[in-house]
A and B are shown apart, each in its own frame.
Chain A
Amino acid sequence: MQPPLKMRDIVKRFGTMTAVDHVDLEINAGEVHALLGENGAGKSTLMNCLFGLIRPDEGVIELDGEAVEVTSPKRALALGIGMVHQHFKLVPSLTVAENVFLGTEAHAGPFVKEAEQIRTVERLSAEYGLEVKPRDKVRSLSVGAQQRVEILRALAKDVRILVLDEPTAVLTPAETERFFEVVRGFAASGLAVVLISHHLSEVRRIADRVTVLRRGKRVAANRIDEVTNADLAALITGNDDFAPSTVEMGTPGEVRLKVDDLRLRSARGLDVVDGVSLEVRSGEIVGVLGIAGNGQTELVEGITGLRAVVGGTVSVAGTDVTGGSPAAVRAAGLVHIPEDRIGRGMAGYWSVADNIAVGRLDDALGSDRFLSRRRIGGLATALMGRFDVRASSPRQLAKRLSGGNAQKMVLARELSKDAGVVVCAEPTRGLDIAATAFVRNELVTRRDAGGAVLLVSSEIEEVTQIADRVLVMSAGRIVAEYSGRRPTEAEVGRAMLEGKK
């Protein structure tokens, strides 16, 4: 039988970057097709092409053998292609039925046929086992139920192809179980399901076929029972032979940062960090590696006082700072290079000088009651020189810095401080090669000067290059630890993807 959907030779470029590079994809009816790949491998871009959110530069999309132009999501729905995004797009104050039919209301003249909408939702809900009450307000629903509403919204348009973008990331384990049954039900009823995922264990349980993308290219398309998890992990991470690390191992001293059985919750009540324990010693870089969204961001927030601690303890240089404010954690001797350097790490509408000075108000600017502009300028100029922050002057607005220089500015403020513990998250994300090397070198220099560095990253290469110890985090837990040597990419890649202890 002819597969209902074929994407052939799809190419999508953003500027000089080719996000999707001559990719083919065939989706069969009655099957769950998993789309695997690292962050940035092109999975979402490819699916956005399919759903009409972006137009491919080259290539053809064929439905039942006929080439179609998917110009908009509306067109995609008309063609029978539905997509459920990771971030729900629901109106909380409206009911389930109203959300399902938002924009496509069943109507008689200007009047909405509410009873008919409710009946349709009830029918679909029963047919696919998607339990919802059509009259409930969406704001009163759990995340799992909201996701069911999103799926119903696609089903109400009679889609034949349903794309699910990382559907389980927001679900509790129990909700995930139910969700899998529903997805199997879709396939059984003849729908073609595309599942974007990061988790091999999940994919193995519900997918029939897999397509693996790496750096925009399709590297494999198989039946799931023809490949092992080890094969898939290797395909996804690619076993790129990174140059062996030239950074010597550090010489660890006493424990500076101790995290014991830390538990944190998301706003939606999920256990995003579920009992993490780790230690960072002086003279050591400890890398925490994981696929984005496995609790690393929250772990950093929990340690640095930016997120309420549900259980466990955090101590910095022997001081218990559990549940302390960011100010208390800093006072105990911790500096933080945040993941979101633009939103958290700086004020874009301030000058570079002020951005540096504001973190050093109590130590580097003297004890005078009033600040001296000359002193602020002097401090900024000195640190900009030492950390190679390239700006037209210290008075340049921070928002006009390039990504690399903005990060160096954050480093200048944080690393110039005499603190025993450095916590940094994704410190080289989005930076060019030179800036990346600079940042890594600064972290190693800090380690050699006796600093305890916690490096949280989703870049395998980064962590395996400079960390002295590597912890792999998955679903809020530490699932693997490598000490005494730097692990290979394949080892950590597999641990990240399988997520098993």
Chain B
Amino acid sequence: MTQAPPPTDAHNDAPVTSEQIPPRTNWFTAARRVVPLGLSQSVIAVVLGVVVCFVIMLFVAENPLEAFGSFVFGTFRNPYSIGSMIAIATVLVLTALAAAVGFRAGAFNIGAEGQLVLGGLAAAVVAGNAGVQGIGAQILALVAATVTGALWIAVPAVLRVKFRTNEILTTLMFNYIAADLALFLVTDFFRDPDSGAVETPPLDESVWLARILPPPSPANVGVFLVVVIAVLAWIFFDRTRTGMRMEAAGLQPAFAEYLGVKSGRYLFVSLAVSGGLAGLAGGVAVLGITHSYISGFSPQYGFLGITVALIGRLRPLGILVAAALYASLMTGATAMQASSNVPFSLVFVLQGVLILLITSQRLGRSGS
């Protein structure tokens, strides 16, 4: 960091009549600044995070080395796990893009989980009742999921743009509303009467996203869809005028205002896109992995997306790599849980450690 300037008269004599917008300095600001930071910060964070997990295993595992081996390499020991990894990564890419779009436009959508849950439910309901089969139903269902996610963030987005309500709080609270709303809708309207669990009836196989690996591997064509979306996001932010302006508005509102950029409109649109991507993630998870809406089907994909976005330095292509990495650790954690006494929730410890390390301003500071 640069050294603070000495307190001189010139500073104190600053015109008091001009309204100074105090910079938002919290970890959210730090998150936005991840973009230009070097790859080294992400690499160091991931390595340190995994080391911390190993230290925890030393304390809790009966056989730490075996548990650690499963955690890190478990994914690659059989084709089914690789398929799981791909399927999870598919969803994480979308939730991470949702977080990244928000961050780059200057907003923190912490409500991806709620948008994803409702998007997933919308996809299950539309795919099950569309009256069409096959690819048509899939497209309808995914569109419904996206629209639902975007609508779910509309209220926090309007509150933010019109009334400057802190979107971190509103989107977070909307997660809880979404969870209860989904529970209510499923139990009262869409529940599968033949199932003991709170879930919608199983979807017809024709509306499943096509498998790309032999069953029961859940890897599906959704992975191609998300790669295309990530590339589009990359083109948008790096190669279009609107993308540059949106990012200026997010990174430094006073600069954007000075350039003549209408920040409010960009902020609203980007929040809607962010919510839409999270909703789509729910649709892809339901049509591609669970094949029905099951209450609690998401192992917090929405929150994990924030971590993945930060590891990927908010860059769409970085997010593809980070999602694959994180999904492999999640799949490994499932294997670890099966083969040792270390629980899956180690993934959430890793998430916390990674967020702390990535948003730290001093770690692996690159000279770029």
- Tell me the smallest distance from the CB of B42 to a CB of chain A, in Å: 16
B17 touches A268 (CB 8 A): yes
A102 to B23, alpha carbons, bound, how many Å? 26
B7 touches A44 (CB 8 A): yes
- Nearest residue (CB) in B for A397 is B36
User: Which residues of chain B are within 8 angstroms of A165 by Cβ–Cβ distance?
Assistant: 12
- Tell me the smallest distance from the CB of B23 to a CB of chain A, in Å: 8
The interface bits of chain B over 220-256 (1 if a CB of A lies within 8 angstroms of the residue's CB, else 0) are 0000000000000001001111001100100110110
A306 touches B257 (CB 8 A): yes
Which of A240-248, A344-352, A481-489 binds B?
A344-352
A291 to B13, alpha carbons, bound, how many Å? 9
A346 to B252, alpha carbons, bound, how many Å? 8
User: Which residues of chain B are within 8 angstroms of A266 by Cβ–Cβ distance?
Assistant: 17-19
A40 to B6, alpha carbons, bound, how many Å? 11
A296 to B16, alpha carbons, bound, how many Å? 12
A371 touches B244 (CB 8 A): yes
A361 to B10, alpha carbons, bound, how many Å? 35
Q: Does A89 contact B (CB under 8 A)?
A: no
Q: Does A125 contact B (CB under 8 A)?
A: no
B255 touches A45 (CB 8 A): no
B12 touches A86 (CB 8 A): yes
A293 touches B7 (CB 8 A): no
- Tell me the smallest distance from the CB of A115 to a CB of chain B, in Å: 35
A330 touches B260 (CB 8 A): yes
- Nearest residue (CB) in A for B1 is A399
B36 touches A350 (CB 8 A): yes
B14 touches A45 (CB 8 A): no
A294 to B18, alpha carbons, bound, how many Å? 10
Given contacts A87-B16, A361-B241, A395-B368, contact A40 B10 (CB under 8 A): yes
User: Which residues of chain A are within 8 angstroms of B188 by Cβ–Cβ distance?
Assistant: none
A379 to B238, alpha carbons, bound, how many Å? 16
Q: Does B9 contact A (CB under 8 A)?
A: yes
Main secondary structure of the interface of A (DSSP, over half): loop
Q: Does B169 contact A (CB under 8 A)?
A: no
Q: How many residues of chain A have a CB within 8 Å of chain B? A: 73
Q: Does B211 contact A (CB under 8 A)?
A: no
Which of A64-72, A134-142, A252-260, A335-343 binds B?
A335-343
Q: Which of A291, A349, A396 contacts B33 (CB 8 A)?
A: A349
A293 to B311, alpha carbons, bound, how many Å? 45
Which of A12-20, A200-208, A461-469 binds B?
A12-20
Chain A contacts with B in 350-400, Cβ cutoff 8 A: 350-351, 354, 357-359, 361-362, 369-371, 373, 395-397, 399
Q: Which of A17, A268, A395 contacts B6 (CB 8 A)?
A: A17
Q: Does B215 contact A (CB under 8 A)?
A: no
User: Which residues of chain B are within 8 angstroms of A294 by Cβ–Cβ distance?
Assistant: 15
Q: Does B163 contact A (CB under 8 A)?
A: no
Q: Does A41 contact B (CB under 8 A)?
A: yes
Q: Which of A170, A272, A346, A399 contacts B255 (CB 8 A)?
A: A346
Q: Does A166 contact B (CB under 8 A)?
A: yes
User: Which residues of chain B are within 8 angstroms of A336 by Cβ–Cβ distance?
Assistant: 258
- Tell me the smallest distance from the CB of A170 to a CB of chain B, in Å: 5
Given contacts A330-B260, A344-B254, A371-B240, contact A397 B368 (CB under 8 A): yes
Q: Which of A305, A344, A362 contacts B241 (CB 8 A)?
A: A362
- Tell me the smallest distance from the CB of A39 to a CB of chain B, in Å: 5
Q: Which of B13, B17, B33, B260 contacts A327 (CB 8 A)?
A: B260
- Nearest residue (CB) in B for A272 is B17
Chain A contacts with B in 316-345, Cβ cutoff 8 A: 325-331, 336, 338, 340, 343-345
User: Which residues of chain A are within 8 angstroms of B25 by Cβ–Cβ distance?
Assistant: none
Q: Which of A292, A305, A344, A359 contacts B15 (CB 8 A)?
A: A292
A370 touches B235 (CB 8 A): yes
- Tell me the smallest distance from the CB of A271 to a CB of chain B, in Å: 10
Given contacts A292-B13, A347-B251, A371-B239, contact A48 B7 (CB under 8 A): yes
Q: Does B172 contact A (CB under 8 A)?
A: no
Q: Does A480 contact B (CB under 8 A)?
A: no
Q: Which of B2, B6, B239, B259 contacts A14 (CB 8 A)?
A: B6
A292 touches B14 (CB 8 A): yes
Q: Does A37 contact B (CB under 8 A)?
A: yes
Q: Does B8 contact A (CB under 8 A)?
A: yes
A67 to B253, alpha carbons, bound, how many Å? 50
Q: Does A234 contact B (CB under 8 A)?
A: no
Q: Does A298 contact B (CB under 8 A)?
A: yes
User: Which residues of chain B are within 8 angstroms of A169 by Cβ–Cβ distance?
Assistant: 16-17
User: Which residues of chain B are within 8 angstroms of A39 by Cβ–Cβ distance?
Assistant: 9-10, 13
Chain A contacts with B in 280-307, Cβ cutoff 8 A: 291-298, 301, 304-306
User: Which residues of chain A are within 8 angstroms of B258 by Cβ–Cβ distance?
Assistant: 304, 306, 326, 336, 338, 344-345
Q: Does B44 contact A (CB under 8 A)?
A: no
B36 touches A45 (CB 8 A): no
A301 to B18, alpha carbons, bound, how many Å? 10
Q: Does B35 contact A (CB under 8 A)?
A: yes
The 10 closest A-B pairs by CB, nearest first: A327-B260, A14-B6, A293-B15, A266-B17, A44-B12, A326-B260, A370-B239, A267-B19, A347-B252, A40-B10
List residues of B whose CB falls within 8 A of some A CB. Answer: 2, 6-19, 23, 32-33, 35-36, 235, 238-241, 244-245, 248, 251-252, 254-255, 257-262, 368
Q: Could you show 9 A-B contacts with beta carbons less than 8 Å apart?
A: A40-B13, A86-B12, A266-B17, A306-B258, A325-B260, A344-B257, A345-B258, A346-B255, A348-B252
Known: A19-B6, A169-B16. 8 other contacts (CB 8 A): A14-B8, A39-B13, A45-B8, A48-B7, A292-B13, A293-B14, A306-B257, A361-B245
